[in-house]
Amino acid sequence: MKKKLNVGIIGYKFMGKAHSNAWKKAPLFFDLDVEPVMKVACGRHEDQVKAFADRWGWEEIETDWRKVVERDDIDIIDVGVPQHLHHPVAVAAAKAGKHVFCEKPLAMNVSQAEEMYETAKSAGVVHYLNHNYRRCPAVMLAKKLIDEGKIGRIFHWRGAYLQSWIVDPNFPLTWHLKKESAGSGPQGDLNSHSVDLARFLVGEIKKVSCMTTNFIKERPLPDEAASGTFNGISKGTQKGEVTVEDAAFMVVEFENGALGSFEATRFAPGRKNYNYFEIYGSEGSLIFDLERMNELQYFSNNDPDYAQGFRTILATEGVHDYIANWWPPGHIIGYEHEFVHAVVDFLNAIHKKTEIRPNFYDGMKEMEVLEAGLKSAETGKAVEL
């Protein structure tokens, strides 16, 4: 009989849904040596978390995350709450001997990230930071081509993560737009994903220059109980100050000498969730676009002159990572599958007593870059890491 691992999820809105789907689907499509049990869902509003648990199949509910963390029968804590709670929940969970599956960005600042990493490391638990885009088969293919030297020495990284959900000045002041709960705006929310992909594919970053701006400085106050990530509901005419940036642009130097740019904004009409990167090297180039997430564009200098050009590789064959567990060749997968892949790798790491990447160490290194960017934007000077 397979060993069962009881999961407690903290948070039940956007990421709560994405994570719940992954816990349900992972054992259905992948042969796992351990079986996750969706034991308890936790959230502040009892009626809403009850409806969430009933819909997704969580056995129990709780409104105090501390009680979930302290339970002897819980093996895994899934952290899907706003950023300001990542640190207390993850530290408490690691100290209690729980494995931790945490949403990004890891923390509010480098100091918190360091404590989270050191605590998890000392506790000997498996700790994972959910940058789900690493686990797109096309991104894993990009990593394989880079590691095989197919694009040679890397010269440039060009990343962009663009959204549009707060262009309307009447969109309310949700927690994402307040420094005390979000830490930062798209620099942390969106550029964290891009920095993770850049570290994964290109290498460590050693120097950062950044600029940020605010386009809308005040917004209507929300009904917090009713507001979701992208559909906050305003409450009356009272307004509050936006205390995080609306857009961020970074340029960086990597330790290997490559140069990179990172553009992140929530003010790009027509771009709902546009996560895009280009990598240029001495032997070729790669392009990935999340809106076409099953494809990787690859150019090789080594093709004959008469056949050169970007080719489109559809990463949906059984030879591509994870794909053999889904549908027949050529059948595409989507956003939710990345979370399933993360859960599978996380459970395998627990079973095999190995690490999973990205983990809290990666989150700490990522926070160093993001925090340096905000410091650069504040001082107008480049920051060395």
Query: Nearest Cα to 148, choosing from 254, 257, 309, 281?
Result: 281
CB 385 within 8 A of CB 207: yes
117-131 pLDDT, tens digit per residue, is 999 999 999 999 999
pLDDT tens digits for range 176-198: 999 999 999 999 999 999 999 99
CATH number for the domain running over 3-133:
3.40.50.720
Residue ranges covered by each domain of the chain = 3-133, 134-334+366-384
pLDDT tier at 376 (50, 70, 90 boundaries)?
very high
Separation of alpha carbons 190 and 134, rounded Å: 14
326-349, pLDDT tens digit by residue?
999 999 999 999 999 999 999 999
Mean per-residue pLDDT of the chain: 96
What is the pLDDT, as a whole number, of residue 333? 98
Q: CA 70, 22, 78 angle in degrees (round to 5)?
A: 20
Which fold is adopted by the domain 134-334+366-384?
Answer: Dihydrodipicolinate Reductase; domain 2 (3.30.360)
pLDDT single digits (tens) 96-115: 999 999 999 999 999 999 99
- Look at residue 232 in the predicted model and tell me its pLDDT: 55
Instruction: Kindly give the pairing relationship between strand 60-62 and strand 34-42.
Output: parallel
Residue 237 pLDDT = 77
Please state, for a pLDDT cut of 90, what percent of the chain lies above it. 95
For residue 328, what are its two tokens? 């027949």
The Cβ of residue 28 has, within 10 Å, a number of other Cβ atoms equal to: 9
What value does the CA radius of gyration of the chain take, rounded to a whole number of Å?
21
